[in-house]
Amino acid sequence: MPLDFAVVRRKLKDFQFESLFIEDLGWDHHRAEPLEITVDGGTFKLKAVAQKRGMVAFLCDSAGPDGMPDYPVRRKIERQVTRAAHEHIVIFLDSARSLQVWQWVKRSAGKPAACREHILYASQPGDSLIQKLEAVRFSLAEED
């Protein structure tokens, strides 16, 4: 059964990421201590919201007093997250709750790692992000 776009849109708008990953994408609970990462003098706290087959989804809430960290800082954060979970997704949120930046790295043998980001503003429906999330959705039939 495909994702229910209306339900996923609502969860994205309401910042219900744990519910989104576990109930809609078929991921598992992840109960690790939050990661604290220091980059360029700023400290960022990342909370693991779910995991599936070694891939962990992290939330970097209220990404800093200056708002959303810029791309170079997000990349530095991502590199440090790799030490805790090699495969991961990081969802950056601004303190105003008007912007989400979903970041993941595609790793392929023999190729350099390619960082991908999807930016979602509160005014957008998020359909293109939801289509991407289909690729990390798991059904009961796929479980061991």
Q: What span, in angstroms and rounded, lies between the C-alpha atoms of 62 and 124? A: 20
Give tens-digit pLDDT for 23-34: 999 999 998 899
Give tens-digit pLDDT for 106-136: 888 889 889 999 999 999 999 999 999 998 9
Provide the 8-state DSSP code for 10: H
pTM of the model: 0.91
Q: Which two tokens stand for residue 2?
A: 């495909």
Of 24, 65, 26, nearest to 42 (Cα)? 65
Q: What span, in angstroms and rounded, lies between the C-alpha atoms of 78 and 88? A: 9
Of 11-15, 18-22, 93-97, where does mean pLDDT reach its minimum?
93-97
Rounded (5°) CA angle 67-57-32: 100
Q: Residue count of the chain, please give it.
A: 144
> Hey, how many other C-beta atoms are within 10 angstroms of the C-beta on 9?
17
Give tens-digit pLDDT for 54-83: 899 999 986 555 678 999 999 999 999 999
Q: Which helix (H) or strand (E) element contains residue 138?
A: none
Provide the 8-state DSSP code for 20: I
Q: What span, in angstroms and rounded, lies between the C-alpha atoms of 27 and 139? A: 9
